């Protein structure tokens, strides 16, 4: 189905994989140009400025993420399974190297030198994710599935940090399985 994707979507796809690999300053219009066989100027037609391209990209990423998480709420009943599905998603992405890092986690590292329009969107994504995790943990605690020793908000932030930190460690050590090891170890502390 990739052949039916519009040019703008192809640009966003390539840009996203480049950002995941090297961050905001780690890619150029020339890189995208070379990857999809189009001139630099044509990319500027679709996205006049780099900051705008990335802002649109993050919007799309957030929309997809939120849709995925909401789908979990409808398809999977148990909060424990919702949480497991979220972790499995990243486990799969990292194992097959299809997307070995969260776009927003990558950009969060560069926060201080990101254009405002990008930085604010990254910040919003962190808020959304934390809110989703909080609701899952709270529901799970009420059903006696999780044993929280702090507020659901704090436990959610801790879980989120573990996931992002696990991505970083897996990448640093070049060991995709390390991600699974870490999040499993973390999960054990919640369900024990």
d(CA 34, CA 30): 6
Q: Of 170, 167, 144, 140, which is closest to residue 155 (Cα–Cα)? A: 140
Number of alpha helices (DSSP H) and beta strands (DSSP E) in the chain:
9, 0
Site for DNA in 36-55 (CB under 7 A): 37-42, 44-46, 48-51
Tell me how far apart the 2 most distant CA atoms of the chain are, in Å.
Answer: 57
- Which of the ranges 39-47, 60-68, 87-95, 146-154 carries the binding residues for a copy of itself, by CB under 8 A? 146-154
Q: How far is the CB of 112 from DNA (least distance, A)?
A: 16
What are 129's two structure tokens? 């994710």
Q: Quickly tell me which residue has 């679709």 as its tokens.
A: 46
Provide the binding-site residues for a copy of itself, judged by CB under 8 A: 21-23, 25-26, 101, 104-106, 108-113, 122-123, 126-127, 149-150, 154-155, 157-158, 160-166, 168-169, 171-174, 178, 181-182, 185-186, 188-189, 192
Provide the binding-site residues for DNA, judged by CB under 7 A: 6-7, 27-31, 37-42, 44-46, 48-51
């Amino acid at each position: 189905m990739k052949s039916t994707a519009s040019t703008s979507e192809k640009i966003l796809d390539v840009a996203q994989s480049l950002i995941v690999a090297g961050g905001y300053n780690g890619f150029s219009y020339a890189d995208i140009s070379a990857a999809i066989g189009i001139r630099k100027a044509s990319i500027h037609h679709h996205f006049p400025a780099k900051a705008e391209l990335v802002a649109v990209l993050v919007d799309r990423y957030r929309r997809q993420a939120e849709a995925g998480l909401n789908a979990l709420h409808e398809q999977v009943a148990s909060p424990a399974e919702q949480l497991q599905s979220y972790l499995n998603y990243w486990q799969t992405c990292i194992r097959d190297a299809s997307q070995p890092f969260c776009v927003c986690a990558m950009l969060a590292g560069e926060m201080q030198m990101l254009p405002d329009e990008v930085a604010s969107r990254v910040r919003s994504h962190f808020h959304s994710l934390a809110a989703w995790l909080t609701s899952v943990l709270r529901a799970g605690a009420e059903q006696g599935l999780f044993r929280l020793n702090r507020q659901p908000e704090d436990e959610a932030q801790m879980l989120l940090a573990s996931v992002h930190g696990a991505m970083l460690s897996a990448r640093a050590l070049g060991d995709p399985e390390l991600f699974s090891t870490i999040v499993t170890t973390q999960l054990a502390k919640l369900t024990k």
